[in-house]
């Protein structure tokens, strides 16, 4: 007969064994997803999810949010907020101050070159020629998720980027990723790459191009997806705040795409404005998935997808248009198709997907002003004249402005040297002059931005977006809901680039393997995306990453 102390000893021993077994369980990152899918939606504001929710289907945005982790107050922590910097920041986990992509088109002060952020004159196009062919990640100065994934798995990962836009396909894949494929308008609507990655197109992409999908979509009318009364019409479809597409009399749906294409002279750029752009992007992503054999083994792969049509139509018609809502409803259906195919090909527990955006957009200032909101336009000539006048009064006749790039001024290096002008003083005078222009919220000098970290929130955001070799002598911020205008510019459509919430607040959604369901209501930063992905996979963050892991996302 066993005594009571013996029973107690055995019970304690059993508990210790259970505890030891629990402690011995392998960490979650020992079984990472077979595939990470990054989805970036160009020009998506978080509030679009709230506004369009009732018109979304069950398998797209609603599925991602109900089954995933939705960060409802994620923001960009720098300015300027543009496509190139956005994609670079998502995947590097840092800001332009470190990765060097400060704008879509950058001015290099040292040699006076004006270059696209992914321009590389030392490479050639593969699958097409023209200006869009000389592209690579050569201007990116920090590693990305793709780079670190290649290092984590000893170069065995497949890392592929696809998009209509060159920069949106290239920057996520970094400098050592496998390949990026983008749309070549000059090559009759084919997708291609550059010699940075390969000397010939893969067989699967040649087969994809042979289907001539672009012309197929350009031959179809753009009809509203839903009955007219279902749309959220803050503005009527026929309003004076939307740009006309080629051949249009009124900017409204339905759009006669074949007529517009003919009126444009057969310009394939139109492809980026129509819903077929979303479809062909998903098609390309799925073709790459199969053609590259992604997600088929235990080595984690990365498929970076960027949807561009949302940005192109947003610029033309503004955030309140029926065209924009219709585009998002169609994107919702593309996301459902993408998820369904990932479930089928990889398995529901085989992949992790994150979705975010590269920036938002402001409501059309002309419309806001008509509603008596604080909004408007600042004439670019007034800005240049203010700087020229102030510096001329102090140092003599100019021209003192060498270049104005968006919200930045580059001063004339040669004139500053010839007049022996102290650059810091000239910057200060120019900034003071800009502050006096109505519609300007603040201006900062390069000297200030190169100094110690600035404590003011907006100043710190501008500082994080400042890169000495590629940024101006003076950077300025417009007041909320204001845009810069040039002579003759129509007061239609929208733009982005500011530090205000309509440009900086974007959705961040994680979904799939290793992700805990729920909402994250505390503030998070766009630079946290890369850190969180790396924690899920179990690898080092990108080399310049400043982001933090969002612990609420991780299933434990």
- Residues 228-268: pLDDT tens digits? 999 998 888 999 999 988 888 888 999 999 999 999 999 99
- Indicate if the pLDDT at residue 384 is higher than 80: yes
Whether pLDDT at 6 is above 70: no
Q: Is 175 exposed, middle or buried (0-12, 13-18, 19+ CB in 10 A)?
A: middle
What pLDDT score was predicted for residue 467? 96
pLDDT in tens, 295-316: 999 999 999 999 999 999 999 9
Catalytic residues: 83
Long-range contacts of 497-500, Cβ-Cβ distance < 8 Å, separation of 24 or more: 497/79, 497/80, 497/81, 497/82, 497/359, 497/406, 497/407, 498/79, 498/80, 498/81, 498/362, 498/407, 499/78, 499/79, 499/81, 499/458, 499/461, 499/462, 500/362
Predicted local confidence at residue 20, as pLDDT = 47
* pLDDT score, position 7: 44
Mean of the per-residue pLDDT values of the chain: 94
Nearest to 546 by CA among 78, 14, 182: 78
Q: Which pair of structure tokens corresponds to residue 541?
A: 């963050």
Per-residue pLDDT band for 25 (boundaries 50, 70, 90) equals: low
User: Is the pLDDT assigned to residue 227 strictly greater than 70?
Assistant: yes
Instruction: Please compute the mean of the pLDDT values over residues 447-455 and round it to a whole number.
Output: 88
pLDDT value, residue 130: 78
Which residues make Cβ contacts (< 8 Å) with residue 61, sequence separation at least 6?
49, 52, 53, 332, 335
- Cis peptide preceding 80, ω within 30 of 0: yes
pLDDT value at residue 209: 96
pLDDT bin (cut points 50, 70, 90) of residue 5 is very low
Q: For residue 306, how far is the Cα from the chain centroid?
A: 8
Give me the pLDDT at residue 11, please. 53
What band does 2 get if pLDDT is binned at 50, 70 and 90?
very low
User: Is the predicted pLDDT of residue 454 greater than 90, yes or no?
Assistant: no
Where do we find the tokens 């070799």? 469
Per-residue pLDDT band for 1 (boundaries 50, 70, 90) equals very low
Q: Write down the pLDDT at residue 23.
A: 52
Burial class (CB in 10 A: 0-12, 13-18, 19+), 334: buried
CA 198 to chain centroid, in Å, comes to 25
What pLDDT is stored for residue 356 in this prediction? 98
pLDDT computed for residue 29 by the predictor = 76
If 0-12 CB within 10 Å is exposed, 13-18 middle and 19+ buried, where does residue 228 land? exposed
Check the CA dihedral 260-266-271-273 and report its sign. negative
Residue given tokens 């191009």 in the structure block? 209
CA 45 to chain CA centroid, Å, is 11
Residue 373, pLDDT > 60, answer yes
326-339: average pLDDT: 98
Predicted pLDDT of residue 188: 79
Domains of the chain: 30-364+507-553 (3.40.720.10), 370-485 (3.30.1360.150)
pLDDT higher than 60, residue 14: no
- Model confidence at 530: pLDDT above 90: yes
Does the pTM of the predicted model rise above 0.85? yes
Read off the pLDDT band of 16 (50, 70, 90): very low
Share of the chain above pLDDT 90, in %: 87
Output the pLDDT for position 93: 98
Higher pLDDT, 284 or 23: 284
Q: Is the pLDDT of residue 512 over 70?
A: yes
Report pLDDT for 262.
94
Specify the 3-state DSSP secondary structure of 93: coil
Nearest to 70 by CA among 334, 354, 455: 354
Give the pairing of strands 376-379 and 179-184. Answer: unpaired
The C-alpha atoms of residue 426 and residue 531 are separated, in whole angstroms, by: 40
Least confident span in 27-31, 251-255, 388-392, 519-523:
27-31
* Mean pLDDT score, 94-119: 95
| Token reading at 540 | 């080092």
Closest CA to 261 of 299, 226, 215: 215
Closest Cα partner for 178 from 95, 65, 301? 301
Split at pLDDT 50, 70, 90, the class of 9 is low
pLDDT (0 to 100) of residue 18: 46
Give the per-residue pLDDT at 117: 98
Map residue 418 onto helix, strand or coil. Answer: helix
Q: How confident is the model at residue 28 (pLDDT cuts 50, 70, 90)?
A: confident
Please report which confidence band the pLDDT of residue 451 belongs to, taking 50, 70 and 90 as the band edges: confident
Band of pLDDT at residue 189, cut at 50, 70 and 90: confident
- Once rounded to an integer, what is the mean pLDDT over residues 188-196? 93
73: closest CA among 537, 528, 459, 473? Answer: 528
Share of the chain above pLDDT 70, in %: 95
Q: What is the mean pLDDT of residues 38-64?
A: 98
Give the lowest-confidence range in 19-33, 125-139, 318-332, 418-432.
19-33
């Amino acid at each position: 007969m066993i005594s009571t102390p013996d029973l107690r000893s055995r019970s304690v021993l059993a508990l210790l064994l259970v505890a030891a077994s629990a402690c011995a369980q392998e960490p979650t990152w020992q079984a990472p997803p077979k595939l990470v899918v990054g989805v970036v939606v160009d020009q998506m504001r978080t509030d679009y999810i709230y506004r369009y929710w009732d018109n979304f289907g069950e398998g797209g945005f609603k599925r991602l949010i109900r089954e995933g982790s939705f960060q409802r107050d994620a923001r960009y922590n720098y300015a300027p907020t543009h496509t190139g910097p956005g994609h670079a920041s998502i995947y590097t986990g840092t800001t332009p101050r470190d990765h060097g992509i400060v704008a879509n088109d950058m001015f290099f002060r040292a040699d006076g070159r004006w270059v696209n952020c992914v321009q590389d004159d030392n490479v050639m196009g593969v699958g097409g020629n023209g200006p869009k062919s000389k592209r690579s990640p050569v201007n990116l100065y920090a590693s990305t998720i793709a780079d670190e994934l290649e290092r984590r798995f000893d170069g065995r990962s497949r890392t592929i980027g696809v998009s209509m836009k060159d920069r949106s396909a290239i920057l996520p894949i970094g400098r050592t990723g496998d390949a990026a494929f983008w749309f070549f308008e000059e090559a009759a609507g084919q997708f291609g790459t550059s010699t940075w990655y390969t000397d010939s197109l893969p067989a699967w992409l040649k087969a994809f191009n042979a289907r001539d999908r672009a012309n197929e979509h350009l031959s179809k009318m753009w009809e509203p997806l839903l009955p007219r009364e279902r749309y959220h019409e803050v503005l009527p479809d026929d309003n004076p705040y939307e740009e006309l597409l080629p051949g249009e009399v009124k900017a409204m749906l339905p759009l006669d795409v074949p007529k517009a294409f003919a009126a444009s002279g057969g310009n394939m750029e139109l492809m980026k404005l129509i819903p077929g752009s979303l479809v062909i992007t998903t098609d390309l992503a799925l073709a790459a998935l199969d053609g590259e054999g992604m997600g088929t083994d235990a080595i984690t792969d990365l498929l970076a997808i960027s949807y561009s049509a949302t940005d192109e139509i947003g610029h033309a018609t503004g955030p309140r248009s029926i065209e924009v809502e219709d585009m998002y409803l169609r994107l919702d259906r593309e996301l459902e198709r993408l998820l369904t195919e990932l479930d089928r090909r990889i398995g529901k527990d085989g992949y992790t997907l994150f979705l975010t955006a590269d920036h938002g957009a402001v409501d059309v200032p002309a419309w806001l002003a008509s509603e008596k909101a604080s909004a408007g336009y600042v004439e670019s000539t007034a800005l240049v004249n203010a700087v020229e006048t102030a510096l001329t009064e102090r140092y003599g006749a100019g021209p003192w402005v060498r270049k104005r790039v968006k919200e930045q001024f580059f001063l004339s290096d040669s004139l500053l040297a010839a007049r022996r002008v102290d650059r810091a003083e000239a910057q200060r005078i120019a900034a003071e002059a800009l502050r006096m222009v109505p519609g300007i919220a603040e201006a900062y000098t390069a000297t200030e931005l190169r100094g110690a970290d600035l404590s003011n929130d907006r100043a710190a955001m501008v500082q994080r977006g400042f890169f000495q070799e590629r940024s101006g002598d003076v950077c300025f911020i417009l007041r909320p809901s204001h845009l810069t205008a040039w002579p003759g510019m129509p007061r239609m459509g929208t733009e982005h680039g500011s530090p205000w919430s309509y440009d900086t607040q974007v959705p961040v959604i994680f979904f799939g393997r290793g992700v805990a369901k729920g909402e994250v209501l505390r503030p998070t930063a766009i630079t946290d995306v890369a850190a969180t992905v790396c924690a899920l996979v179990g690898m080092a963050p990108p080399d310049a990453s400043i982001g933090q892991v969002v612990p609420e996302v991780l299933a434990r």
